[in-house]
Structure 1
Amino acid sequence: MPEQIFDASPVPSADGGAVLSAEDAKLVTLARSSRARVGAVDGAAVRDQDGRTYAAASVALPSLTVTALQLAVAQAASSGATRLEAAAVVTEASTLDGAGHAAVRDLSTDAPIHVAGPDGSLLGTVTA
């Protein structure tokens, strides 16, 4: 199977007064914890249609590379999720990884993807 390549998505700047809902703030907290626990480059969390959350960190092995957001979406899908309500990524990057973005869009065309820095501060939200 040929490797798929997805372009990174720009992250719109967060409105200075932007405040996440308690449920979306929980996603950022879970993503931060996943990232910090293993010292990964990125951490991510998603919430499915039933309110269940799934968190993951990026994986980089010699034979397998998976972004945190791809892995969180895969966990949700393998647990029976058919739709995502929201997602969050904690990263040092200024863009959202294209593969993770595509994975979220596979389950939801309109779920917001909140992108936060390592300190948990909201960098922006990708809605398209």
Structure 2
Amino acid sequence: MPEPTMTAVPAPAGEVTLAAEDAKLVTLARSARARAGAVEGAAVRDQDGRTYAAATVALPSLAITALQLAVASAVAAGATRLEAAAVVTEASALDGSGHAAVRDLAADAPIVVAGPDGTVLGTVVE
């Protein structure tokens, strides 16, 4: 699978402005990350507008990215499609496994990538 491409969303004055629903995903992802003290936090919104948030799990016997876990939580709750996702991370790019998990349910859902302070770094659209 090719590496995901992060494309910045144009906005005035160099800042990215998100729709309220997508900004909520970033807030949920930041909260999940902070609550768990994890490397990453993520949130997804399903076809019915329900949201699911998760943090990275790094155990000796289990490793799962925040985005994979958020997608798994949505699927476990009956979601069949995703409208959008967000990841809060210190990394400069979206990891391939989280990207793939979102694409399993939505070929066109935007994935917002933000820094720990909530600053949007870009949106993965492929």
TM interval, shorter chain, is over 0.9
SS at match of 1:125: strand
Counterparts in 2 of 1:40-51, with a 5 A limit?
40-51=38-49
Identity of aligned residues (%): 73
SS at match of 2:7: coil
Q: Which amino acid aligns with 1:41?
A: V
Match of 2:124 in 1: 126
Counterparts in 2 of 1:50-89, with a 5 A limit?
50-89=48-87
Match of 1:18 in 2: 16
Return the TM-score normalized by structure 2.
Answer: 0.93
SS at match of 2:79: coil
Could you tell me which runs of 5 or more consecutive residues in structure 1 were left unpaired when the two chains were aligned: 1-5
Question: In the aligned structure 2, how far is the partner of 1:7 from the partner of 1:71?
Answer: 21
Offset at residue 11 of structure 1 (A): 2.2
Question: In the aligned structure 2, how far is the partner of 1:127 from the partner of 1:100?
Answer: 14
Aligned Cα root-mean-square deviation (Å): 1.3
Question: In the aligned structure 2, how far is the partner of 1:56 from the partner of 1:8?
Answer: 23
SS at match of 2:97: helix
**How many residues of Structure 1 are paired with residues of Structure 2 in the alignment?**
123
Question: In the aligned structure 1, how far is the partner of 2:3 from the partner of 2:79?
Answer: 25
Could you tell me which runs of 5 or more consecutive residues in structure 2 were left unpaired when the two chains were aligned: none
